[in-house]
């Protein structure tokens, strides 16, 4: 059974940093692209970042470029999101998601339960 378990969320002041983790199990982690998707309170879903199987390609939504860094450790079956210079508008539940990417198709097939990040003074 595919399982994705996020951790690391919490309350942080504006300008602060936080590192999210996602522990994956039930599948061969190193075979898949992985992603972070977030959801602000009462709002819709927003894709945040993608990382290739070997970490050689990374992509970000414009609003987090230069502040967030996605990474992975395939020896630990873990995905990370380093978030720096946090802003109030980064407040959201952050979901880890397994990404399917083929020549013609790209989507998220499994999601974790999410971890809440609150940016407030």
Partner 1 sequence: SYELTQPPSVPVSPGQTARITCSGDALPKKYAYWYQQKSGQAPVLVIYEDSKRPSGIPERFSGSSSGTMATLTISGAQVEDEADYYCYSTDSSGNQRVFGGGTKLTVL
Which residues of the chain form contacts with partner 1 (CB under 8 A)?
44-47, 50, 61, 95, 100, 104-114
For residue 109, give the nearest of 13, 27, 20, 54 by alpha carbon: 27
Give min distance, CB of 111 to partner 1, in A.
4
Measured between its terminal Cα atoms, the distance across the chain in Å is: 40
Distance (Å, whole) CA 43 – CA 17: 23
Distance (Å, whole) CA 102 – CA 90: 30
Q: Indicate the residue among 68 and 108 with the shorter CB distance to partner 1.
A: 108
Q: Indicate the residue among 74 and 91 with the shorter CB distance to partner 1.
A: 91
| 3-class DSSP assignment, residue 22 | strand
Q: Indicate the residue among 97 and 119 with the shorter CB distance to partner 1.
A: 97
Give min distance, CB of 73 to partner 1, in A.
23
Q: Which residue has the tokens 């945040």?
A: 48
Q: Indicate the residue among 27 and 47 with the shorter CB distance to partner 1.
A: 47
Task: Report residue 80 as tokens.
Answer: 């990370």
| 3-class DSSP assignment, residue 2 | coil
Give min distance, CB of 62 to partner 1, in A.
8
Give min distance, CB of 104 to partner 1, in A.
7
């Amino acid at each position: 059974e595919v399982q994705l378990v996020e951790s690391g969320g919490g309350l942080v002041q504006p300008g602060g940093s936080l590192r999210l983790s996602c522990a994956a199990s039930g599948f061969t982690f190193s075979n898949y692209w992985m992603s972070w998707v977030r959801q602000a309170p009462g709002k819709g879903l927003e894709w945040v970042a993608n990382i290739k199987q070997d970490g050689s390609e990374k992509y970000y939504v414009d609003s987090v470029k230069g502040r967030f860094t996605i990474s992975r450790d395939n020896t630990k079956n873990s995905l990370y999101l380093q978030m720096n210079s946090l802003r109030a508008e980064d407040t959201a539940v952050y979901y880890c998601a397994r990404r399917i990417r083929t020549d013609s198709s790209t989507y998220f097939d499994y999601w974790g339960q999410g971890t809440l990040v609150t940016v407030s003074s």
